[in-house]
Structure 1
Amino acid sequence: MVSLSSKDAIMSLLSLASRCARFSSNVALALLAACGGGSGGDSAIVAANVPIQPVALAANHTNAVSYWHDVAVATVNASGAAAATPEEQRTIFNVDMATVSLAMYDASAAIDGRYKLFGPAQSATSSGASIDAAVGAAAYSVLQALFPNRSDQYSNAYVGFLAGLPTGDARDKGIALGTQVARNIVALRADDGRSVALAPYMPGTDPGKYRGSNPVDRFRPSIRPFVLSSNDQFRPPPPPAIASTAYATDFNEVRAYGGIVSIGRTPEQLEMARFHTEPPPFFLTRNFGWFARTTANTADAARLLALIYVASADAIDACFEAKYFYERWRPQSAINLADTDGNDMTDAVPDWAPALPTPPHPEYPAAHGCTAGSLAEVLRQYYGTRSVGFAWDSKATNTTRTYATTDAFIEEVTSARIMGGMHFRTSLAAGTELGAKTSAYILQNKFGPR
C-alpha cells in the first residue's frame, strides 16, 4: 500500500483536486479517482499516473450561445452605421465579443449553478428561468447598449429567437435575468480606455526600431484588462540584442524562408502561411465560434466561449502593450537595413520583401503567437490535455485545417508567420508564452466552480 503521509503526496492530491474543479465534466470524470472519487487513497495515486485520453472535438451542436455568437459577430464587424458610442467609434472585435460572451456566461451560470459569476450577483430570480431566454436577452441587451446604431444586425434576430421559445413564466424570468446581467456587465466595462487620445506617432530611426509611420492599434495598451491586473503584468523580456547570435539566427531564418523569393520554402508552407492571413476580426471570431458548437449544453458552451474570448482580449491588449513598449522593427526593415545593425552575422538585402503583407504594427511580441498561446492554454486546461483535436478554416485560402494537439496548432502558427516573412521565431515564442500565461492566470482567478 502507498502511504499518503508524505507532504509531496498530499500536495500532489491537492493540486489534482484543484485541477479537477476547473475542468469540464468529461475531464472531471477522467480524474474522478485522483480527486477522491475512487475507492481510496491508493486508487487516487494510481489514477494520477493514468494519462487522460485525447479529446476529438466536433462542431455538430447548435445552441443559444452559438446562435447569439454569430449575431454578435455580424454586429461587431458591421460597417457604415453612425458612430455614437465608444464601441461604435472604435470597435475592438475581441474585447467587444468578450463582453457579449461574459453576459451569456453569467446569464447561463446564474441558472445552471455550477460556476461562479464573473460579474455581481443578480437580484432577478434564476429559479425556473429559461436558460436560452436568459442567454438571448443578455446578448441582445449588450449589443443594444454597445451598438445602438447597428440594430439591423440584431433586432430582428432577437424577435425571431424569442418566437422560437415557449411562452410563459420561464421565458419571462429568463428575459428579466439576462437583461439585468447585461446591464451589470456593460457597467463593468464602461470607460474601458478605448477612447484615449493619441499623439502623432514618431517612427524610430535607430537600428532595431520600428519604421512604420502610422501603426494601428496604438490605443490597445490603454484598454482596461478583464482579469489581468495590468497590461504589462506578463510583459516578455526584451527581444535579443541586434548584435547577438540569437538575433542573427532569427534574422537568417526569415531571410531564407520568408521572402517573396525563397529556395527553401515549399509551396505547401507558403499556402500554410496564407491560411493565417485572413483578417482577425473575421478569422478569429468565426473559428472561436466553432467551439461553442462542440457541446449541446448551453452553460458549458457559454463558459468555454467566454474563456476563449476573455483570454484572447487580455492577451492581445497585453501583447500590444509590449509591442509599443519595445517598438521592434519588422523583418523587412531588419533585412533591408542590416548594414546598420552592427552584427557581423547578418547581411543586408536592400530589395528583400516578405512573401506576404506585413501588418502595420511593431514586431515583438507576435500577436498571432499571443492569440495561439492563449487559445491553446484555455483548451489544455479546460480539457486537461494537450491532445485536443479541432478544426480551423480560412477564407484567405478557402480551406480547413485540422490539429490533433494544441502544440501542433502553435507550431503551425509559428511556422506560418516565419514563412510569410512577418515575424522572427523569438517573437512568436514570446507571444505564445504571454498568451499562455494570460490564460493560466484567468483560469486561476475566474470561471471556477461555486
Structure 2
Amino acid sequence: MSDGLRVIEAVIVFVVIAVKVGILICVCRRRNQTDSRPVIPGSKFLTLAIDKFLNDMEREKPIRFTDQQLRIATDNYSNLLGSGGFGTVYKGIFTNGTMVAVKVLRGSSDKKIEEQFMAEVGTIGRIHHFNLVRLYGFCFEKNLIALVYEYMGNGSLDKYLFHEKKTLGYEKLHEIAVGTARGIAYLHEECRQRIIHYDIKPGNILLDRNFNPKVADFGLAKLCNKDNTHITMTGGRGTPGYAAPELWMPFPITHKCDVYSFGMLLFEIIGRRRNLDIKRAESQEWFPIWVWKRFDTAQLGELIIVCGIEEKSKEIAERMIKIALWCVQYRPELRPIMSVVVKMLEGSLEVPEPGNPFQHLMGAVTFAHPVQDSQTYNTTTTSSGSFVMVTNSSIICATPIMRKYEIELASRNV
C-alpha cells in the first residue's frame, strides 16, 4: 500500500512539474511575441537613436498605442479639436470610457517631426504634476506619429480671453494664473532635470472641466542640467510677442525666458485682450507699455476702468500688474524665479515696486517722475522657507537698431 502511494505521489509531482513547465513556455513565447512588436514595417524606418529613445520611454511608463487602436478611439479621426503648425488634434475615447486628445504630428520633414516627438515625449512623458497636461502615451509607426494626452474639457485659455464673452471673472483668472505659475515652477525647479518650455502663451494653457489650468504643448521644450545656467541655441524659439528678447539675439539663454513669457501672459489675463490689438487707440497698441505708463504715473484707476475690473478684484489685479512688470524685465537676471512668482501671486510674499522694463524701447519718452533703477531678485532658501533679497541694478539701454528690431518683433504678436 505504501509503495502504491509513493507511485501516486510521484505521478502527481511529475504532472505538476510538467504543467508548470508548460505554463512557463507559453509565457516566454508570449513575451517574445510582445517584445518583437511587429507594428512598424521596415527596419529602415527607425534609426537606432529613435529606437533606443522609444525603448527608454516605455520604461518611463507612457503607453505605446497602435495606429489601429487610435483609429478606433477617434472614430477614424472624425472629431477635430484644433489644428496648427504642430499638426492636428482629435478627440477620442477608449473602451474604458477614458477621453483623450490625440495629437497627430505633422511637419516639413521627417526629422522635424521626430524632433518634436522626442521633445514632447522626452519631457512631459517623464513627469507628473497637477498643472501639467498628462501624456497617456504615443504611437510611432510608419504612417502615424501621434501623442495621446488627457482630454481637457474647456479647451485653451485664449478663447476665454480673446474669442468668447468674458465668462471668467478675475478671481478665477487669478487662480488660473497661480496654477500656471506652479506648473512652470515645477518644470524649472523640481524636476530631476530642468525643463524649459519656450512657448508659454494662452493657447498652450489648457483648462479641465473645473477650469484648472495645465501647461501643454512641449514641442519646443528642452531638458537641461540644473548646473548649466546658460544654454547655447541656434535659431529663435517661441512665439513673437511672448518670446523673451534674448531668444531672438545671440545672447545666452536661461530658464528666465519662460518667466518673461509668463509675464506677457499675465498682461493678457489682466486686460482680457491681446497685448497687440490694432483695433484700439494708438496709445494702447501694445498693452504692456500702456500698463506701465499708467502704473508709473499712478493712474491705475484708469486701467481698472478700461479693463472692466470690479472693485472686489482691484487688489488682485494691481498685484498681478506689478508681478507682470517684474517678469518682463529686459535683463533676465532681474526677473524673479517662478517659485517666487507663485508666492507673490498667492499673496504670501510682498511685491516690491518694479522698475521700467521697457526703458530700452521708449527712447526719449519722459514721465511725470523719474524712472527708478530696476531691482533684481536673489532667492535664498532657508530651513523656514524662501525669502527674497533685493539689490539695486542699472538698466542697460539697447542701441537704436536693437530697439527698432524688438519693436518689430513685438508687433508680430499672434
Please confirm whether the aligned pair reaches a TM-score higher than 0.5, indicating the same fold: no
TM-score bucket (shorter structure)? under 0.3
Which gives a bigger RCO, structure 1 or 2 (Cα 8 Å, sep 6+)?
A: 1
Point out the structure with max Rg over C-alpha: 2
TM-score calculated relative to the size of structure 2: 0.27
